[in-house]
Structure 1
């Protein structure tokens, strides 16, 4: 007998308890920062499991705390989540969020205690804002130099290194009363496609995939309360469907083999890997049937979320989606909410480390972000250099980097600003895309630079040929220029392993000799 069989019917034509259970399986994004839209209020009233915040919802710390309070006033067991990876990838810059380097730099340093300090700083800030679910850390291994999406978000290519740092991150985050989420199961690092833009495939054989599972095994053993699935097809695991929609991967591999008992949340369903191949609404139904507990619809247009919700309710009415499966998923979400939905009044730091001061409210997190503190220490320790002059004062800095990824919302920080902070005599040029007349650009840079030292920084130039062409043209004119890599290492004399603000400040300090 279904547990929903004898309850009264709601507006969906389903038992009220089943309608609520279906809503618990949804995480919604929304437009607007200062007020909660009426359509979202209705969803929350009916049991919505969570909301995910983005930069579009953020103005300052006080506003965010008012927003999270307003949401919980509608339903106290609502989970409020955000992507908060560090390394400039996040949405809370306007709230004075602490600056920490990305995961790759932390893996280079390979000090799990330092990683725990960084994770603690981020989690304390979230708790002070009333955000108690963080879709981080990234557990993907960075295998391929042509992978377009994992890169410095990963702790590296070595599964043991990644496992050490995942354990540190998860433990520190848990100590702040914030739910962490290891992603993207079973790994996005072996692909050459960004699943935001298309269906990604990892063609490696079964044995080669085992290393990628080790960080996730470590996360499960560390008690991670959430995992996020990848919109990636693994022919060796399931040739027909991406992991998000695969019973074999979510059920047999994750639940049975890895023994994960927490909440499995999908990556965003409006990403083209799902939306273009299946449709977001069908993706929601299939993902829940396959074993997901929550599906994320991150786009601000709530009509997309309502379409996904209606597809799930329709599948329940017709029997395509089993009520028992939805009840199981909703039960996991309820247990997660019991632990994390209400932010603690105070959040003691981890007993094993001297973390930041406890965060009790908005006052402690408001104000401009600072590059001081544990994040800058970590970034400094990550910098690697060879053949760099003791001080490159008064340099002309050419910073080449791609435009920020729309979903990750990296803030577009540039090296020139950080150089000027430590050397006001520095000048420079920031270039964020291919220009119409590169020869004229090179000529202008060389002319403006004159006899001053030249610094040429690139970010993942191997993925962006325009950077390679500009860099080589500048080096032909100025072979004495100092090469800097601000993404993955590509032969530069100075390597930061990330473009977070503290990464760039640490590089600037080395260049300026301070």
Structure 2
């Protein structure tokens, strides 16, 4: 049987058409296409699909994205269209002219909630022009574990009160644009040493240490955030048996009853290894919904995976393993969300296009900066882009050259095949020039630390730049978004 036949086939005999629609509302699907989309997706939307999630693969330019979202809503007007839109290089709308903002960590360093609100307003205003109505942002995780591989500069910081005030500013500004924000990843992904994209993450801290991580989420709920996203993380102090996405104790007892959140709770993507390897996407969908999630995301464009999750939910309803009441509750929340946000904005007022660069500059200059080094040889070391997160190809030298055309150097993404030969070449080329050595989270990527230290041993006069979390450098960007690097470039060039 083909996916087309599965998709258009009738609901199980004991599942009414209304309940079938309710089940479909509990799904968010990724797909391929920029100007057209698969017939399977059309039929899923027609049967009640709750939402779609866009990625770089769906984006060519702003006009194309608006035509795509209009075409999707022509099938079903209450379809929610969402996208990851955190700023700081974490987003998928570079091709559509996304406003440049520095990312959450730099906003936390600048620590001006009004400025954070201006950045969030710019991002949300841009979404409104594109017909995108849900932003899977902001990140509410606290950056607690130095070796955490996935949160880092996506977080506002490690302090609960700081994160809380910036979350409130972000959520309020996004709401004012008629866009649904989504605080993530409940109850916090910042205390792990594993990226849940690649494996099951565990936060081993005792319950009293986890309380701080809950505070930003409490603040987000108090600010009226309409959506939360769960973490694929096991917290033995809260539930030793299941990751939060699949835990009734965490989603039900803690989030719904203790914290009092009654908005839409959406899972992180089910194809992430933390779920797919241990449970499978289909079983993950069923368990997550039974545990208290309202929607589950299948971000991969293979709609067979989405259909498998849909069928698992329908089978669970028919067999009684998933109660009708739980599905009606979840679908009801999704309907209320759609009633509030799914209708895309009409004419959209402009936003402050300079807010992001202002924020990046304030973060970079929040502490003493080194003297300018015009005509420098720049070595920019950074890991290859994370496959699940968009990256626009930004590098420090590209941002520096408009201010200092005499600058030279290279961007090094990933460990070179012959580090020694490259280091010798760099030292020869930079012998009569100032040297700038930039690293991005070298503590997580030992090749960067080795490369940097070998250069510094022979050029102790070099200027050190940290483009991830601060690691003892002379100058910090607090992220690798274009405006982060531009603000550092201005300091290096003395402009």
**TM-score surpassing 0.5?**
yes
- 1:443 CA drift (Å): 0.5
The separation in 2 between residues aligned to 1:347 and 1:252, in whole angstroms, is: 40
- Give SS of 1:463's match: coil
Q: Indicate conservation of the 8 Å contact 1:97/1:125, yes or no.
A: yes
Q: Which structure 2 residues correspond to residues 100-499 of structure 1 after superposition, within 5 A?
A: 100-347=101-348, 356=351, 373-384=354-365, 389-499=370-480
Q: Deviations over 1:254-293 (max 9, x none)?
A: 0000000100000000000000010011000000000000
Q: Say which is worse superposed, 312-321 or 224-233, in terms of deviation.
A: 312-321
Q: Deviations over 1:117-148 (max 9, x none)?
A: 00000000000000010000000000111000
Q: Indicate conservation of the 8 Å contact 2:110/2:366, yes or no.
A: no
Q: Deviations over 1:385-444 (max 9, x none)?
A: 877543211111000001111111122310010011211111011111111211001001
Q: Indicate conservation of the 8 Å contact 1:230/1:242, yes or no.
A: yes
- 1:495 CA drift (Å): 0.5
Distance 1:449 1:385, change over 3 A: farther
The separation in 2 between residues aligned to 1:373 and 1:397, in whole angstroms, is: 26
Q: Indicate conservation of the 8 Å contact 1:152/1:488, yes or no.
A: yes
The separation in 2 between residues aligned to 1:63 and 1:489, in whole angstroms, is: 39
Name the counterpart of 1:52: 53
The separation in 2 between residues aligned to 1:11 and 1:229, in whole angstroms, is: 29
> What TM-score comes out, normalization by structure 1 length?
0.93
Q: Indicate conservation of the 8 Å contact 2:34/2:57, yes or no.
A: yes
- Give SS of 1:241's match: coil
The separation in 2 between residues aligned to 1:327 and 1:438, in whole angstroms, is: 59
The separation in 1 between residues aligned to 2:300 and 2:400, in whole angstroms, is: 36
Structure 1 unaligned residues grouped into runs of 5+: 1-8, 349-354, 358-371
Q: Deviations over 1:176-199 (max 9, x none)?
A: 000000000000000000000000
Q: Indicate conservation of the 8 Å contact 1:388/1:511, yes or no.
A: no
Q: Indicate conservation of the 8 Å contact 1:263/1:336, yes or no.
A: yes
- Give SS of 1:51's match: strand
- Give SS of 1:182's match: strand
Name the counterpart of 1:505: 486
Q: Deviations over 1:8-52 (max 9, x none)?
A: x94433200010000000000001211021010010000000000
- Give SS of 2:241's match: strand
The separation in 2 between residues aligned to 1:462 and 1:79, in whole angstroms, is: 40
The separation in 2 between residues aligned to 1:337 and 1:421, in whole angstroms, is: 45
Structure 2 unaligned residues grouped into runs of 5+: 1-8
The separation in 1 between residues aligned to 2:62 and 2:370, in whole angstroms, is: 41
Runs of 4+ in 1 over 4 A off after TM superposition: 384-389
Q: Indicate conservation of the 8 Å contact 2:370/2:474, yes or no.
A: no
RMSD, aligned α-carbons: 1.2
The separation in 2 between residues aligned to 1:217 and 1:491, in whole angstroms, is: 33
Distance 1:292 1:386, change over 3 A: closer
- 1:449 CA drift (Å): 1.5
Q: Indicate conservation of the 8 Å contact 1:385/1:493, yes or no.
A: no
Name the counterpart of 1:360: none
- Give SS of 1:180's match: strand
- Give SS of 2:313's match: helix
- Give SS of 1:48's match: coil
The separation in 2 between residues aligned to 1:457 and 1:387, in whole angstroms, is: 17
Q: Indicate conservation of the 8 Å contact 1:183/1:228, yes or no.
A: yes
Q: Indicate conservation of the 8 Å contact 1:388/1:482, yes or no.
A: no
- 1:317 CA drift (Å): 1.1
- Give SS of 2:90's match: coil
Distance 1:379 1:398, change over 3 A: same
Q: Deviations over 1:458-506 (max 9, x none)?
A: 0000000000010001111111000000000000000011100000000
